[in-house]
Amino acid sequence: MTIDLEALYIDLHRHPELSFQETRTAGIAAQHLRDLGLEVEEEVGVTGVVGVLRNGEGPVVWARADMDALPVEELSGLPYASTATGVDPAGNTVPIMHACGHDMHVTAMIGAVERLVAERAEWSGTLVVLIQPAEEYGAGSRAMLDAGLLDRYPKPDVVLGQHVTPLPAGVIGVRPGPQMAAADGITVTMHGRGGHGSRPHTTIDPVVMAAATVMRLQTIASRELDPREVGVVTVGSIHAGTKSNIIPAVAKLELSLRYPDDAARAKVLASVERIVRAEAVASGAEREPEFHTEHTLPPTINDAAATARVVAALRRTLGEGAVVDPGMFTGSEDVSWFARDSGAPLVFWFFGGVDPAVYAAAEAAGTVASTIPTNHSAYFAPVPHPTIEVGVTAMATAVREFLG
């Protein structure tokens, strides 16, 4: 019986789940994989699912799809829009939606596996399907690896993954080398000396210290990196104080740092630490600032040879003009840990999810950036067709390229 992929997608979209809470999604994916004849194990890395399809001698391909959603209230207006809520790690009740398209990733993966099972007489080797939790935390792939993924399942000869993005549906974006940036999330705590707002001379004001630091940090990208390099230094959160007439003792900054490779990462991290420490000294701080890394994601670097094979296969299947070089994305992914830990080459690509006519009209009007919702937007809503079909075809084609 053919799986109704549109119904699957709509169901997953209506029922999003936060990172490491994807029990319903994991159960649905696992059941579909079992029904297709795969050996399936659940709860690999908290909520992760692994499916293995052994089909004779040949290479081993790991194909990965992520499944977690985001604490965003959906405003798409779709008849199947999410109204779900959940509890975040801090204990807050939050709205949830698939604002990054991971529901589409799971749907396309199930469809690709269905096609590969139907075509199994035409290829040989082993397919390992990874339905990964907690990509949005940058922690799901690491959790699956730490659960013994490489010891418990066939080791990969190549790792494949894909991500829906605001390109026209039908278009694939992929390039060799750096495809997505490395990233670090860092919390900086700056220490001052608190006191009464009317007597600032008796204090060391961490609010002023933090404000000066925020401004100086912006010079890393604008004055320390080569203009031809990619580098992002964002202070996404600043917290200090409780009342207008109290100078607090502490200020906290939450930083998002992004870079194309390990060398750039080392340079940016050194600059951040130098500036933070220098601004603390300039303010007369009596205690050193503290740095805490919340997460680290490696750059997503596509293997040149493996990527060339996938690009050629996709062009043969989808048409020469369907595959483009989208440039490097400054967003980040944790899929690289699978390739890095296993030593296998990685190929990770993007597939469009925007109605081609809508995208063309926005492009003609010069309004793509302002009118086409991007990942993590409350309005992000890939069109089911032909997005599903292209996602299925892209993944199945890439797998077949390595399995014959």
pLDDT tens for the 404 residues of the chain, in order: 799 999 999 999 999 999 999 999 999 999 999 999 999 999 999 999 999 999 999 999 999 999 999 999 999 999 999 999 999 998 999 999 999 999 999 999 999 999 999 999 999 999 999 999 999 999 999 999 999 999 999 999 999 999 999 999 999 999 999 999 999 999 999 999 999 999 999 999 999 999 999 999 999 999 999 998 889 999 999 999 999 999 999 999 999 999 998 889 999 999 999 999 999 999 999 999 999 999 899 999 999 999 999 999 999 999 999 999 999 999 999 999 999 999 999 999 999 999 999 999 999 999 999 999 999 999 999 999 999 999 999 999 999 999 98
Burial of 79 from C-beta contacts in 10 A (0-12 / 13-18 / 19+): exposed
Which pLDDT belongs to residue 404?
A: 84
In order of 89, 125, 179, the CA distances from 332 in angstroms are 21, 31, 9
Residue whose tokens read 């964002």: 234
* Residue 252 β-bridge partners: 189, 239
Instruction: Map out the domains of the chain as residue ranges.
Output: 5-180+300-403, 182-296
Binding site members for Mn(2+): 100, 102, 136, 163
User: Would you identify the CATH topology of the domain 5-180+300-403?
Assistant: Aminopeptidase (3.40.630)
Which pLDDT belongs to residue 154?
A: 98
Which pLDDT belongs to residue 262?
A: 85
Residue type at 11?
D
At residue 27, the 3 state secondary structure works out as helix
Of the candidates 108, 130, 128, the one whose C-alpha atom is nearest the C-alpha of residue 392 is: 108
pTM of the model: 0.91
Binding site members: 100, 102, 136, 163
Which pLDDT belongs to residue 248?
A: 98
Burial of 291 from C-beta contacts in 10 A (0-12 / 13-18 / 19+): middle
What is the CATH architecture of 182-296?
2-Layer Sandwich (3.30)
Which pLDDT belongs to residue 83?
A: 98
Which pLDDT belongs to residue 1?
A: 72
Which pLDDT belongs to residue 44?
A: 98
> Which positions ≥6 away from 169 have C-beta within 8 Å?
351, 352, 353, 354, 355, 356, 382, 383, 385, 386, 387, 390
399 is written with which tokens?
A: 């797998």
Which pLDDT belongs to residue 229?
A: 87
